[in-house]
Chain A
Amino acid sequence: MEQEILLSVKNLEVKFDLRGRTLNAIRGISLDLYKGESLAIVGESGSGKSVLVKTFMGLLDANGRITDGEILYNGQDFTKFKTEKEWLAIRGKELAMVLQDPMTSLNPLKTVGFQICEALELHQGLKGAKAKEAAVSILEDVGITEAGRRFSQYPHEFSGGMRQRAVIAIAVACRPKILICDEPTTALDVTIQAQILNLLKDLKAKYDLTTIYITHDLGVVANVADRIAVMYAGDIVEIGKCDEVFYNPRHPYTWALLSSLPQLGVKGENLYSIKGAPPNLFTHIAGDAFAPRNPRALKIDFVKRPPYFDVSPTHKARTWLLDPRAPKVDPPESIRKLRQGVSANG
């Protein structure tokens, strides 16, 4: 089944200038986002997931720049954008964002209503009483009770979960096509997390959104994602459908990541952790970025960067292990168990 591609990233490279040195934050990423899907981008801190989505909205910090590649959306190439005016036609209107920390993502001195109306006015041309009416109905949509009263309250009068709902209301008020959720539940209580994820799922259906989740919480991923992209050191090392990546992972980093799930640990034994530290992105990385931390690394992993190998039409991974010439390397015990679980069930 051929799906419509909404946004297409081609060979994207992003570099940051930090105190005279250059940091390679994104090292040649290609990614297609399909209309109506829910894509999760997972990876540890510093793997470049946030930087990647920031380039979709022109929100890179001043010292960051796109050095190569294209971001194609609706016939436009975002990497060619020079002025703020070009971006203003995209931000909110086409893509909107929900940030990680609801405690700080609202202006403390403006009412919640004002902040929603700001988006309504910008993108739907609503003003005054009409804007208020629309804002109240959106507040109801995101599950805020007594929306009329809440409209004129300030962020400090909202609890954490309600603030995140308000932030989501702002994003929805823009009527975007793509909603980017940058760790939307990380700062919330576990009980609230599930509510917010369900809300996002409902809104996705109601407002016909395509969603991108950035997270390092695999529980969130399993809950909401159609597809998963696993990022490591500024690169997507494996991408595939949710089930494919969870139950048939092929990249050693994905193995390591999944093995770190506490649920896969054996009672009484230490939890699995990935040894070593992520590579230094200031230096040029030859070969597979994960090789130095990978006990199963092949010699070629240190020399030549692997290309993507297709596992299935929807699943590919960047590892030499998938090369026909590679020796057979078994995934760790815990991953094999996951796989067996699937074949037993399916």
Chain B
Amino acid sequence: MLKYAAKRLIQSLVTLVIIITIVFSLLRLMPVEGYFQNFDKLDKNQIHAALLSMGLLDPLPVQLKNFFVQLLHGSLGNSLIYRPNVPVLDIIADKAPVSIFMGLASMAIALLLGLPLGTAMARSKAKFWDKFGTAFIVFVTAVPAAVYYLLIQVYFTDWLGLPILFSESDPVSWILPTVSLSLGNIAYYAMWLRRYMVDELNKDYIRLARAKGVDSKTIMKKHVFRNAFVPMVQYLPTSLLYTIAGSIYIESLYSVPGMGGLLVNVIQRQDNNMVQALVLIYSAIGIVGLLFGDILMNLMDPRISFEKKGGAR
């Protein structure tokens, strides 16, 4: 197991290095405006001097080497336009806590509601819960998120007397954005869990368990749910990490000071260093998510073993 984890970790690191190299190289093709706040006011010589001092006129491999050295020292460079000369990581550290908290809360809601919904749907195939859940899933998947987020904000604030805008000091104002954020995941988990559980229910070993006299509740819990959960486990870490990384729509709707809108914002304003740092962070999140998913799956499914064991068969 440890050996497998180590191997996968190294693979992930290699993937990350490749991604960094590609992103870094591509960003060198961006217009140089992205390195200046006051590009219009500068003349050619000033620009040349500034680029030279930032090391941007060095050959690409040298720049890349410098970037990696910098990265190893725990720095992703400074913001240039968004908040000039503030380290990128500080900016993110400012914004992350809100997004992380909201993400974790919404993830908890999604698991607490999505898994029971999926189970209820699998259990009552073609009956009430299944139809209800299907309607919900179709609604959440088919209607653009922006639309129902907006509907929730407009109507629910009114009905429930909740504040329209987010305020860090007022916990009640957290409810609607967090719940809105979890809707997609609730639908997603319910849909996949139902699908995998129905798959498992039709398998022979369930028939055998029934034939040996296990009651349906125990079969659902010990055999069906557990086995259906394994294929889902692979996607949970990724889904968690992306939820933590924030949602553009929700954060702008409720003016939540989170990370969601950051990437769009800095791309629009051509803050090259920020774009670079954020793209790296998002790819790292994806890779780490997959890594954890694989490791979890490996822990839960005895059939997946990457180390040779003696004595089998």
Q: Which of B198-241 contact A (CB under 8 A)?
A: 203-205, 207-216, 222-223, 226-227, 230
CA distance A290 to B222 in the complex (A): 46
A132 interface residue, CB < 8 Å from B? no
Q: Mark B2-32, 1 if CB is under 8 A from A, else 0.
A: 0000000000000000000000000000000
Residue from A88, A107, A109, A154 within 8 A of B215 (CB atoms):
A88
A-side contacts of B226, CB under 8 Å: 109
**Size class of the contact patch on chain A:** 35 or more
Known: A154-B302, A157-B312. A57 touches B208 (CB 8 A): no
B301 interface residue, CB < 8 Å from A? yes
Q: Mark A162-197, 1 if CB is under 8 A from B, else 0.
A: 000001001101100000000000000000000000
- Name the segment of A117-125, A210-218, A312-320 touching the other chain: A117-125
Task: Judge whether A96 and B223 touch: CB under 8 Å.
Answer: no
Task: Judge whether A97 and B214 touch: CB under 8 Å.
Answer: no
CA distance A92 to B214 in the complex (A): 9
Residue from B211, B222, B230, B301 within 8 A of A59 (CB atoms):
B211
Task: Judge whether A59 and B210 touch: CB under 8 Å.
Answer: yes
B-side contacts of A198, CB under 8 Å: none
B303 interface residue, CB < 8 Å from A? yes
A-side contacts of B312, CB under 8 Å: 153, 156-157
Q: How many Å from the CB of B143 to the closest CB on chain A?
A: 32
Task: Judge whether B204 and A119 touch: CB under 8 Å.
Answer: no
CA distance A171 to B210 in the complex (A): 12
Q: How many Å from the CB of A240 to the closest CB on chain B?
A: 29
Task: Judge whether A99 and B208 touch: CB under 8 Å.
Answer: yes
Interface of B is mostly: helix
What number of residue pairs across chains A and B have CB atoms under 8 A from each other?
Answer: 83
Residue from A88, A106, A156 within 8 A of B213 (CB atoms):
A88
From B226, which residue of chain A is reached at the shortest CB distance?
A: A109
Residue from B210, B212, B216, B222 within 8 A of A170 (CB atoms):
B212
A-side contacts of B230, CB under 8 Å: 109
Task: Judge whether A105 and B212 touch: CB under 8 Å.
Answer: no
A-side contacts of B44, CB under 8 Å: none
By CB atoms of chain A within 10 A, which of B205, B208, B210, B211 has the most? B211
Task: Judge whether A107 and B227 touch: CB under 8 Å.
Answer: yes
A84 interface residue, CB < 8 Å from B? yes
Task: Judge whether A119 and B302 touch: CB under 8 Å.
Answer: no
B308 interface residue, CB < 8 Å from A? no
CA distance A101 to B205 in the complex (A): 10
Task: Judge whether A156 and B303 touch: CB under 8 Å.
Answer: yes
CA distance A119 to B211 in the complex (A): 10
Task: Judge whether B208 and A122 touch: CB under 8 Å.
Answer: no
Task: Judge whether B204 and A93 touch: CB under 8 Å.
Answer: no
Task: Judge whether B223 and A107 touch: CB under 8 Å.
Answer: yes
Q: Which of B276-313 contact A (CB under 8 A)?
A: 300-303, 311-313
By CB atoms of chain B within 10 A, which of A119, A158, A171 has the most? A119
Q: Can you spell out 7 A-B residue pairs with CB atoms less than 8 angstroms apart?
A: A91-B213, A97-B208, A107-B227, A108-B302, A109-B301, A109-B303, A122-B212
